[in-house]
Amino acid sequence: MALNFKNTTLFFIIFIGFVIFLLNAYKLNLNNKDIKSINKIKLTHIHAPTEKKPKLSINEINNLDNEFSKTNNNLKYTETIIIVKKGQTFSKILDNFNFENRKKFEIINSINEIFDLRELNVNQKIIFLGNDKKIIKKIILELDFKTNLIVDIDSRINVFKKELETLSVIDSKEYLITNSLYSDGINNNIPNQILIKLIQLFSFDLDFQRDIRKDTQVSVSYEKIFTQNKSEYSFGDIEYARVTIKNNTLEYFKFITDDGFIDYFNREGKNVKKSILKTPLDGARLSSSFGMRKHPISGFNKMHKGIDFAAPKGTPVYAGGNGVIERAGINGGYGKYIRIRHNNEYKTAYAHLSGFKKGISKGVRVSQGEIIGYVGSTGLSTGPHLHYEIIYQNKQINPLTLKLPSGKILKGNELERFNKNYKMILANHLNNLFE
Ligand SMILES: [Zn+2]
């Protein structure tokens, strides 16, 4: 009897399920006639570096539709959204649609002129819009949170980038360090990108291993940027940052200088950070820049991991920044070589020197601008020059493109403008925190 009862119930459930299915199928069909159908939507996917803003998925679809019906004389589009999977190439994705082979390669070539399709990422979103005959007329690739690549497909193919309108708000946070600036920041919901910028901002003032103590207070304001039609947001610049260790306060305000650079200054209008000199000697001429080149001695193509300054033998070489000599001695092809450790992240190296300044040896503290050695041609070198490297996280970086704080002091009108500016930033910060 029990078995019989179970069977009846099961049959009943299956029957109800079938009715619901029919109803949905009918509804779906209606939707198809009235609006556009949305084929493969997987909006739960998130782009790796950005966070997801909830509850926007439906709006997102509507907005997209609106945008295209506006710009395309109310043509009805069928939308298919593809989220790139691991190992999936763009060419493979195109195989889901009925492109002729020639058209397919034409599309790929046109896109590659503007965007290298090998850089397509897993989870990247691609939207295909087809007309009522299911012929794809438009492809939209989301390049980053505020840029789309639009591919218009007609007899000709037109590819262009479109920047989306953005809206930014300021977020403010304050926390105490119990473990580290970074991990406590993460625990206090400060985005990773902002914490990295915060560390960079203070990297010339603070040795994060040595200086930071328990109960150090961190206070920060930063831009949060939204784009229309998308479910993600990103983060812009730090507006305000303060680290308080016991009675010492380090504080920076964002400011766009008269020459158009974004930089950070304290209340006195001083960029107090001790930056790294890009040219650690006087009267030198840049003779070889950073990048691939044929080595003048070995003749092989090799990455040149520093920059060379041609200067007469004996020209004084200065310490690029405050720090401790990590190495001073002969170092293979580098010849007579000095390396200075400036903080957790930055080091500089000086090669082919003719000699060291008296007193310069491992463990000695040096100040920016202090003479440490003299230009020479020791090691693998064709003539007197200084080979200079800036090392960031143990990797050589291009000193010329490195964005370093300027060491500038604001004066006159620029200072007046800064004073108005920083008071607004501070008021905004406090308002956000204590409102
Ligand atoms: Zn060199």
Ligand 1 centroid – CA 252 distance (Å): 35
- Identify whether residues 232 and 149 lie together within a single domain: no
Closest CA to 317 of 287, 348, 284, 281: 281
- Identify whether residues 243 and 291 lie together within a single domain: no
pLDDT > 90 in the chain, percent: 40
- Phi/psi of residue 55, nearest 5 degrees: 60, 30
* Candidate from 80-84, 86-90, 299-303, 314-318 with smallest mean pLDDT: 299-303
Q: Is the pLDDT of residue 173 over 90?
A: yes
- Mean pLDDT to the nearest integer, 289-293: 75
d(CA 419, CA 36) in angstroms, rounded, equals: 54
Q: Is the pLDDT of residue 282 over 80?
A: no
* Candidate from 94-103, 180-189, 266-275, 350-359 with smallest mean pLDDT: 266-275
d(CA 241, CA 171) in angstroms, rounded, equals: 12
Q: Which of 135, 163, 191 is the last residue of a domain?
A: 163
Strand partners, 353: 336
Ligand 1 centroid – CA 276 distance (Å): 18
In a domain, 35, yes or no: no
311 near 385, Cβ under 8 Å?
Answer: yes
Ligand 1 centroid – CA 298 distance (Å): 13
- Identify whether residues 55 and 158 lie together within a single domain: yes
d(CA 90, CA 105) in angstroms, rounded, equals: 11
Domain containing 64: what range? Answer: 51-163
- Identify whether residues 145 and 211 lie together within a single domain: no
Closest CA to 108 of 67, 149, 64, 47: 149
- Identify whether residues 385 and 299 lie together within a single domain: yes
- Identify whether residues 71 and 138 lie together within a single domain: yes
In a domain, 406, yes or no: no
- Mean pLDDT to the nearest integer, 344-366: 93
- Identify whether residues 249 and 301 lie together within a single domain: no
Closest CA to 287 of 352, 356, 243: 352
Half-sphere exposure of 218 (CA within 13 A, CB side): 30
123 near 46, Cβ under 8 Å?
Answer: yes
In a domain, 149, yes or no: yes
d(CA 233, CA 101) in angstroms, rounded, equals: 37
Ligand 1 centroid – CA 300 distance (Å): 14
136 near 99, Cβ under 8 Å?
Answer: yes
At residue 210, the pLDDT reads: 64
Token match 């105490």: residue? 176
- Phi/psi of residue 355, nearest 5 degrees: -175, 170
Ligand 1 centroid – CA 205 distance (Å): 29
CATH number of the domain bearing residue 75: 3.10.450.350
Closest CA to 222 of 206, 207, 235, 208: 235
Mean pLDDT of the chain: 79
Closest CA to 240 of 259, 216, 266, 258: 266
In a domain, 37, yes or no: no
Q: How far apart are the first and last CA of the chain?
A: 68
Report for 67-81, 211-225, 353-367, 392-406: range of highest mean pLDDT = 353-367
In a domain, 405, yes or no: no
- Identify whether residues 154 and 179 lie together within a single domain: no
Q: Quick one: pLDDT band at residue 248, thresholds 50, 70, 90?
A: confident
Ligand 1 centroid – CA 390 distance (Å): 12
Q: Which of 265, 296, 324 is the last residue of a domain?
A: 265
In a domain, 338, yes or no: yes
Ligand 1 centroid – CA 6 distance (Å): 83
Q: Quick one: pLDDT band at residue 59, thresholds 50, 70, 90?
A: very low
In a domain, 21, yes or no: no
- Identify whether residues 207 and 289 lie together within a single domain: no
Q: List, for residues 215-239, the tens digit of each pLDDT value.
A: 899 999 999 988 876 666 789 899 9
- Identify whether residues 309 and 377 lie together within a single domain: yes
d(CA 310, CA 221) in angstroms, rounded, equals: 44
- Identify whether residues 91 and 76 lie together within a single domain: yes
Amino acid letter, residue 305 = K
- For the whole prediction, is pTM greater than 0.75? no
Ligand 1 centroid – CA 307 distance (Å): 5
Q: Which of 231, 265, 299 is the last residue of a domain?
A: 265
Ligand 1 centroid – CA 305 distance (Å): 7
d(CA 426, CA 165) in angstroms, rounded, equals: 27
Ligand 1 centroid – CA 361 distance (Å): 22
d(CA 100, CA 18) in angstroms, rounded, equals: 40
- Identify whether residues 120 and 173 lie together within a single domain: no
Q: In the chain, how many domains are there? A: 3
In a domain, 41, yes or no: no
At residue 12, the pLDDT reads: 61
